Every structure is written in C-alpha cells, then in structure tokens.
Amino acid sequence: MTDLLKLTSLCQNLECEYILNAPMKDYTTFQIGGPCDILVRPYDEGQTAALIQFCAANGIRWQVIGNGSNLLVPDGGVSGAVIQIGSNFSYIRKSLKEGEILCAAGASLSAAAAFAQKEGLTGLEFAWGIPGNVGGALFMNAGAYGGEMKDVVVCADYVDGMGNTRTIAASEMQLGYRHSVFSEKDWCITKVKLQLRPGDPAEIRRTMEDLMERRKSKQPLEYPSAGSVFKRPEGNYAGALIEQCGLKGRQIGGAQVSEKHAGFIVNRGGASSRDVTQLIREIQNTVAEQTGYRLECELRQL
C-alpha cells in the first residue's frame, strides 16, 4: 500500500473528509490552480494532529491552507497533502474571561466580527469583510483600516511539524506588518483567543457597515482575486506606485491589474498562475525602474 493510500485509510478511520486530486482552483479566491494529490478537511484539533503526525512519519509533503484568500497555486498543482482548516472546524464562542472570544482557526473573520458585534464587543470591526479565516489572518497578521490581528490576539493553539499540540502567547508570535512566527514554521494554527472591549452593538454595527461600504467602493470585489498583491513599501503605497507607472488595467492572459484599485490583480476569466506570476514580475520590474521602489509580493505560493 502506498503512503497516499495509507493516508486515505487514516482519513477513513478518523472519519475525516478528504478529496483525491482536488482541483485547487475551487479552494482559492483567485479561482486558479491545478490539483493536489489529496485535500483533507479535518473537523478538530485531534484529527489535525493525527494527520500531520502521519505525514511527518511517512515523509509525505503536507501544507496547510485556510480560505485560500491570499494564495496562488501553480497550474500544475501541488504534490502531497493539502490540509484545509476551514468551515469543518469553525466554531466561535465566548471564553471565561470578560471580553474574550475563542475561535477555531477555520472560522471566517467576518463571522468572528459578527459574533463580537452581537456580544457588544469592539475591536474586531476591521475584520468585517476580509475574505479570510481567523487562522490565516493570524498567520499573516492581517489588518485593515487601522486595525490588525496583533491588536486583539491573546494566544493560539497550534500543531507543530511533528504533530504535537502546543500553545503560544501573543508576545512570542513576532507579529509585525504582514508577518508572524507562523509564516516561518511548519505549524498549523488550530485555535485563537481574542481579547476585545465592551462597546455599543449599534455603534459597532455602524462602524462595520461603514468599513464595508469603503471596501465596496475601492476594491474590485466583482472579480476573483487574492486581495492586495504587494506589501506596502515604506513611505508610499503599492497601488499608487503601480498606477503612477501606467500599469492600471495592464493584462496578461486572464490576469489584469485592477482598473478599480491598482494594488489588486484580478482574474478576468481563465487566468492561469503563469499569467499572474508574469504580471507580478512585470509590475515589480517596471516600478523598480521608474520609481526605485522594489515591491514585495505578499501572496503565499504553494
């Protein structure tokens, strides 16, 4: 029995959902990417630990994804196992301490923000409308409109590369601009504890609605994308630099620099990973030549 067949057998024993040759375009907001050997969707931390432990012991390459909202998958797909921490593992509940909520890593950021609003807790409004999940947001210290994950996270549980379950405090996470310790390790976030503050539910709702309107007016939500493509360069903005260089609307294959916000690349239909990669390279080279700024891509590539 091959290692992959053994892994499917383990999934069956764990009663864990899995899909062979899963088309990754169906699991990314870019709607781009070839198949992976096996996509596994665990229901809890125990299943996640067992899967990673098995892969580590049998030399199976494994990677973790969340909602796929900051992800570019190769056209040829990826080998090994892709573990998706998503809707199967997405509870949100109040913690014992006042103002704390506990989120499974697969819970969507919008669901967490909505839960906080109903509980009269403020601090997570920035997350309303971000198309990712809580684990992915912590992985990259996601943020918007003056807020970011490092402002609210207390601690997190994760499974390390050998399948051991551990806890890490926020002070140890090395949270910075679009960075955390998780982005440097083969760890899988499973649970996140957030500390919020009491607030007026109606005022919180108004703030969330205002931020959503700002997103709709400025971001190309009508097309598949992976969000902002480049990190903000010190002293400037990626979108402004790209537009300044005349690249707004530039298209390669099905991939286009958004005509609405030049910091986004959108899939206008049938875009390949190659299209996106070539467009990213052209943007970086043109901006560097014309402005001296070297834009750093913030998309995660499997």
98 burial (CB, 10 Å; 0-12 / 13-18 / 19+) is: exposed
Residue-wise burial string across 274-289, b where 16 or more C-beta atoms lie within 10 A, e elsewhere: ebbbebbeebbebbee
In the residue annotation, 171 being an active-site residue is answered as: no
Sign, Cα dihedral of 11, 15, 19, 20: positive
Q: Which of 45, 148, 178, 258 is catalytic?
A: 178
The alpha-helical segments, DSSP class H, found in the chain are 3-14, 45-58, 109-118, 134-139, 201-218, 238-244, 273-291
Measured distance CA(183)–CA(204) in Å, rounded: 31
| Closest residue by Cα to residue 112 from 97, 95, 96 | 95
Three-state DSSP at 35 gives strand
Amino acid code (one letter) for 189: I
Catalytic residue among 108, 228, 272, 273: 228
Give the relative orientation of helices 201-218 and 109-118 as an angle to the nearest 10 degrees: 150
Catalytic residue flag (residue 17) = no
Of 45, 125, 148, 298, which residue is the catalytic one? 298
Residue 90 known to be catalytic: no
Q: φ, ψ for residue 178 (rounded to 5)?
A: 50, 40
Catalytic residue numbers read 178, 228, 298
